[in-house]
Chain A
């Protein structure tokens, strides 16, 4: 027995548990609301649920696809403007490690799941975490940029009139694995 088929076999249960733990990070009554399958009325719940489903499938693949960063973006972009510390915002991605350990405790204890495979799985989650850290930082940066732009926007017309505006093309920090989503 190896980990991969087990993960695939228990996909629904793992995802349910993972999502349930995420929902618990929201204040009391929201738990009911966040599980509503209403794409436009419940954007937090549906977007996070949709993303972790696909993230889980990514974890089952030997190589991550190009969707990995955008999927992480969908989760982190939401968490980054909610009332969480940075660590709390991204910690929900780590939950999957613990859900897997909880679910397959017996198999891990007895050595039926090789340590190497578990280690590889952990590594994938850690990689997700690092990408999420980049995205989180970018999101927060966007919020601060927005504040700055907001302040300037009040007077942009006036600044153009008096020619006190200098426009540079937007600095492109590159995309690669850090993912703009």
Chain B
């Protein structure tokens, strides 16, 4: 190489500009931008458990030229594509209706942070649409590229794998689409097609497999789950002096409580879990936990409709077995998309359950009449509205709190005000992030839809800039040091995001903040918070 880069060379620093049509740019698998493929033993189990939904099991690496696709891979995908077009009217409409207006183009966090054109939702969907046109429409078959069509080649499969596992199904783009195209459902279809030829990722399928086997993503067995709960109860007693009750797998209670299993092992979710235990004990809720339905999350949503249905069904099977009247769901993100948008027509209506009625306030939650399942912040905000909790928000006075709307509760459920109401009842210092980054327009944590794995950290940080930028702003302007959220994936993904983009901001579940402020009957003077750190004034 030449010693000196000449100024004019630097000034023509434009090699990044693609000179080719996007169809001619092959996918590049760089470290940190893709997740590891599923392990064969996981697939063997899942394939057996689903009677053949996960065929063509093998070891393969995305960076290899040869992906060892099945010989008839083309036919498998075409057949699967056709089946899905026939099965889902919505999918066919999404394939046909896009006018490529570009309203969604700059709304994806991965595009915003990285600038890869194929991360523009419109172009990501085009990866699929071009095949739809080329293989299923007359115009596409005759006119080819002129009609935006192309043929199914191996590079297309690789491209799908790269970019549909670079979509977090957050649906921020859908919010801006004039036709309301649900980009998450396009990604779901692409992932289903990829399963047909044995291309999938371990971070989604291992939790799905665990959930099918032990009832939760972590693969925790009942005794271990219960052991962990007891440990938490001991911690709670140490902090508050109150021995909380911990009903598990008990029949005949009014309520079944289900929350993500991520919260039982992983900090800071563990503190949120303790918060639930404390709240339910304090109000004397007639409820039980379950070690079988010990997972609110549903990685089936990121896998296939059948897997989603199967994993969702276990919650209801357990509710039926235990004979409860309704279910309260914990702080989880995508569980609420499954519940609010699919459950009713998938496994529902849950006619053996009742419309939830709060035993403390008498409030009837009509909105949950079909699913018989309410969100914990709906339940808690109702308690607060009726003044049923004794709270001391000054215990959270060392925190200047902001709230990250999790994509699914916000956009797939419209749960926007309840968590804020709860936070404002237990924290004296609350600040909103800028309007364009919250509520329906919230930015994804960049690790949703099963991409919250460490090998994907590069993309997570890149895609995290939208949220990070807003967080950094309120950190600098208002001194925000606490980021509250109501999603277990967020509690796992936001700590690294904050550590990179707004170092010094700590992540909290909303019910951890509730439990800090909750004045319990018979409690000793509290000196520390749930993290065993001194409360304000006790340092």
Please determine whether chains A and B interact with each other in the same assembly.
Answer: yes
Interchain Cβ contacts within 8 Å, total number: 146
Q: Please state if A98 and B470 are interface contacts (CB–CB under 8 Å).
A: no
Nearest CB of chain B from residue A99's CB, rounded to whole Å: 8
Q: Judging by beta carbons under 8 Å apart, are B457 and A30 in contact?
A: no
CA distance A146 to B112 in the complex (A): 21
Q: Check A27/B17 contact, CB under 8 A, given A43-B112, A156-B267, A157-B266.
A: yes
Query: How many angstroms from the CA of A29 to the CA of B102 in the assembled complex?
Result: 12
* Inter-subunit contact A154/B266 (CB<8 Å): yes
Q: State whether B454 touches A147 (Cβ < 8 A).
A: yes
Interface string of B11-49 (1 = CB under 8 A from A): 101101110000000000010000000000000000000
Q: Mark B104-133, 1 if CB is under 8 A from A, else 0.
A: 011100001111110010000000000000
Instruction: Give the complex CA separation of A123 and B461 in angstroms.
Output: 32
For residue B366, CB closer than 8 A to chain A, the reply is: no
Tell me the complex Cα distance, A150–B32, Å.
Answer: 14
A81 at the B interface (CB under 8 A): yes
Q: Are A143 and B13 in contact (CB under 8 A)?
A: no
Write out, one digit per residue, whether chain B residues 468-497 have a CB within 8 A of any chain A CB (1) or not (0).
111000000000000000000000100110
Q: Shortest distance in angstroms between B146's beta carbon and chain A's nearest beta carbon?
A: 21
A83 vs chain B, min Cβ distance (A): 6
- Given A142-B500, A156-B270, CB of A91 within 8 Å of CB of B10: yes
Docked-complex contact A42 and B461, CB < 8 angstroms: no
Which residues of B have CB within 8 Å of A29?
A: 105, 117, 120
A149 at the interface (CB under 8 A from B): yes
A30-B115 in contact (CB<8A) = yes
Determine whether the beta carbon of A143 is less than 8 Å from that of B265. Answer: no
| Docked-complex contact B17 and A28, CB < 8 angstroms | yes
In the bound complex, CA of A84 to CA of B374 (Å) = 46
Contacts of A13 in B (CB 8 A): none
Contact in complex: B492, A150 (CB < 8 Å)? yes
State whether A40 touches B499 (Cβ < 8 A): no
Interface size class of B (residues with CB under 8 A): 35 or more
Known A-B contacts A82-B114, A142-B500; the reply to A154 vs B265 at CB < 8 A is: yes
> Chain A 127-143, CB within 8 Å of chain B: the 1/0 string?
00000000000010011
Residue of A nearest to B10 (CB): A98
- Distance in angstroms between the alpha carbons of A95 and B437 in the assembled complex: 32
Given contacts A98-B10, A161-B228, contact A146 B16 (CB under 8 A): no
Interface size class of A (residues with CB under 8 A): 35 or more
Residues of B within 8 A of A25 (CB): 13-14, 16
Is B395 in contact with chain A by the CB < 8 A criterion? no
Binary CB contact string for chain A from 60 to 86 against chain B (1 if under 8 A, 0 otherwise): 000000000000000001100111000
Quick check: is B3 within 8 A (CB to CB) of the other chain? no
Find out whether the CB atom of A47 lies under 8 angstroms from the CB atom of B469: yes
Indicate if the CB atoms of B106 and A41 lie closer than 8 Å: yes
Residues of A contacting B17 with CB < 8 Å?
24, 27-28, 31
Q: Please state if A83 and B457 are interface contacts (CB–CB under 8 Å).
A: no
Residues on A with C-beta less than 8 A from B7 are 97-98, 101-102
Give the distance to chain A from B35, nearest Cβ to Cβ, in Å: 13
> Closest 3 A-B residue pairs measured CB to CB?
A146-B496, A43-B469, A30-B115
The residues of B with any CB-CB pair to A shorter than 8 Å are 7, 10-11, 13-14, 16-18, 30, 105-107, 112-117, 120, 218, 227-228, 231, 262, 264-267, 269-270, 434, 436-437, 453-455, 457-458, 461-462, 465-466, 468-470, 492, 495-496, 499-501, 503
CB pairs A–B below 8 angstroms (6 shown): A28-B16, A30-B115, A43-B112, A146-B500, A154-B262, A156-B265
